[in-house]
Structure 1
Amino acid sequence: MVTERLQELFGRLEQITNVQDIAYHRIKEGKLSPVLKTRTDHLGNEKWKSVHAASPVLVENDQLLREMVRNPKPVFVQDVKNDPRSAEEFFLFGIDSILILPVTDGSAVRGIVVVASIGRLHSFTEQEVRQAEELVEQYREILLG
């Protein structure tokens, strides 16, 4: 049931942004814990999880995640290669543009939904970001479950 609802969320986010690579991570013990992603790139879910296990993403070492945890608002990078805030992991996964949406429980960020444009730049508009943020809020209970 949870997987189907996450896939539904991902489909709706794709409709809003026209970006296909979407993933959900919980934040556990200060690092990202991958839950589910779309199957649009060369990795697939199991390989994606194993890459994260081999190279954990620590919130404290990622400028964008640190910023989001302090101030839970969507963060986006239009051009990963030319933005100094870009994390090494963006390059590892071949991301060109990225939108990171916080999943909050009260004021605490408990997870993130990532919309990652791979293979081409994407300019996230204010409308896309606002609609995506509203959509993530509608699915918050499933995401926190």
Structure 2
Amino acid sequence: MDLERLDELFQQLNELTGVRDIAYHEIKDGRLSPVLKTNTDVLGVEKWRSVHAQSPVYVEHDKLLSEMMREPRALAVQDVKNDPRSADEFFLFGIDSILILPVLNNRVVRGIVAVASIGGLHEFTEEEIRKAELLLERYRSVFQT
């Protein structure tokens, strides 16, 4: 995996949305496996890895991820605290709003890019979501193994 190009994608997504906490997770053995995250003051990489290790996110137990596996498409949660699909892990990380983009290989979800607003709500517009999907497509080769 080209981590330098993945970091470029994160920078592009940050410029598009203004959201700084962006991460890529592979899906392995039915759960999220952290790969790379932007290092921010709000949520550093070590804390991110540590929380994932202590509280694994299993796809089958997560409403949003289960929905994405059935119907691969970008999913936005504008207000985590008031959306019944929100996972407990969102609260562990202090996420207020999140955009989850599926990484596909042969039309199967193999990972996700999460754009997480921490410390304030973010309204992910239809235009932001569409442009984020286009960016992900442009960087698709980064995720090929």
Which is bigger in relative contact order (C-alpha 8 A, separation at least 6)?
A: 2
- Secondary structure of the residue aligned to 1:10 is helix
Aligned-residue CA RMSD (Å): 1.2
CA deviation string 1:99-135 (max 9, x = no partner)? 0000000121000000000000000000000000111
CA contact (8 A) 1:25 1:112 kept: yes
Normalised to the residue count of structure 2, the TM-score between the two structures is: 0.96
CA contact (8 A) 1:103 1:144 kept: no
Runs of 4+ in 1 over 6 A off after TM superposition: none
Normalised to the residue count of structure 1, the TM-score between the two structures is: 0.96
Query: How do 1:131-142 and structure 2 match up within 5 A?
Result: 131-142=131-142
1:122: which partner in 2?
122
Q: Establish whether residue 9 from structure 1 lines up as the match of residue 9 from structure 2.
A: yes
Structure 2 Cα separation of the partners of residues 95 and 144 of structure 1: 28
Stretches of structure 2 lacking an aligned partner (at least 5 in a row): none
1:34: which partner in 2?
34
- Measure how far apart 1:96 and its partner are: 0.3
Percent identity of paired positions between Structure 1 and Structure 2: 67
Stretches of structure 1 lacking an aligned partner (at least 5 in a row): none
Structure 1 Cα separation of the partners of residues 91 and 41 of structure 2: 14
